[in-house]
A = this chain, B = another copy of it.
Amino acid sequence: MKKDHGLLIVLSGPAGVGKGTVCNALRDVDDSIAYSVSATTRAPREGEKDGVNYFFKSESTFKEMIANDRLLEWAKYVNHYYGTPLQYVHDTVGSGTDIILEIEVQGAAKVKERYPEGIFIFLAPPNLAELRKRIEERGTENLDLINERMTVAKEEIEMMAQYDYVVENDQVEKAVQRIQSIVEAEHCRKDRVIEHYRQLAEVK
């Protein structure tokens, strides 16, 4: 059956849960899904290509994109702007290709406001003890900071309520498999395909 329209898949979850690792692993095994390319005002690092790693923009151009509502979401970190160009997402799904956007929870919440028809997947740690362990293994935080992050994690679990799916990142390969299953299942949802069949039923 023809895929008429691609899906925007938003992969988010708490800091340290492994969003980047899972997204890269998915990229390695599945070339049917496109990956959202962010716009940024920071300078390209060695080897980074415009349109591949990022869309590199001047600050004035970026601010213009904000003003003209051409970003699905944006944020400023350490004096640089980062954002998701709306046009790139629209062009990709319009051509029938699914696109995945890996983003922190605050960004995902903004995307949901602008693009509620997206598929929102929350990547979750196997359990909070495991999350604590992962954060500790980063080795750069003190205990206060860890406890603070645990509190944030609890808040973020409450953010699950805004998502369609929760994928446990107990093993990267399993998490990737679950995301692929979600994408395949979403393409089978009745609401997405019934019109296609109604048209077929009218063929003489």
The segment out of A44-52, A53-61, A100-108, A125-133 that lies at the interface is: A125-133
Instruction: Identify the 4 closest CB pairs spanning chains A and B, nearest first.
Output: A185-B185, A181-B184, A181-B181, A182-B185
User: Please, how many angstroms separate the alpha-carbon atoms of A184 and B176 in the complex?
Assistant: 12
A-B contact pairs, 28 of them (CB 8 A): A1-B168, A1-B170, A122-B190, A127-B200, A127-B203, A128-B200, A128-B201, A153-B201, A157-B194, A157-B198, A158-B198, A160-B194, A161-B190, A161-B194, A163-B190, A164-B189, A165-B185, A165-B188, A166-B194, A167-B188, A178-B185, A178-B188, A180-B181, A181-B184, A181-B188, A182-B188, A184-B185, A185-B186
Report the copy number of this chain in the oligomer.
2
User: Please, how many angstroms separate the alpha-carbon atoms of A137 and B174 in the complex?
Assistant: 42
- Which chain B residues lie closer than 8 Å to A147 at the CB level? none
Binary interface encoding of chain A residues 12-45 relative to chain B, with 1 for a CB under 8 A from any of its CBs, else 0:
0000000000000000000000000000000000
Binary interface encoding of chain A residues 143-170 relative to chain B, with 1 for a CB under 8 A from any of its CBs, else 0:
0000000000110011011011111101
User: Please, how many angstroms separate the alpha-carbon atoms of A194 and B157 in the complex?
Assistant: 8
Range class of the A interface residue count: 35 or more
Is the CB of A193 closer than 8 A to any CB of chain B? yes
Question: A67 to nearest B CB, angstroms?
Answer: 35
Can you name the residue of chain B whose Cβ is closest to the Cβ of A193? B166
Can you name the residue of chain B whose Cβ is closest to the Cβ of A130? B200
Interface residues of A (CB under 8 A from B): 1, 121-122, 124, 126-129, 153-154, 157-158, 160-161, 163-168, 170, 177-178, 180-182, 184-186, 188-190, 193-194, 197-198, 200-201, 203
- Which chain B residues lie closer than 8 Å to A157 at the CB level? 194, 197-198, 200-201
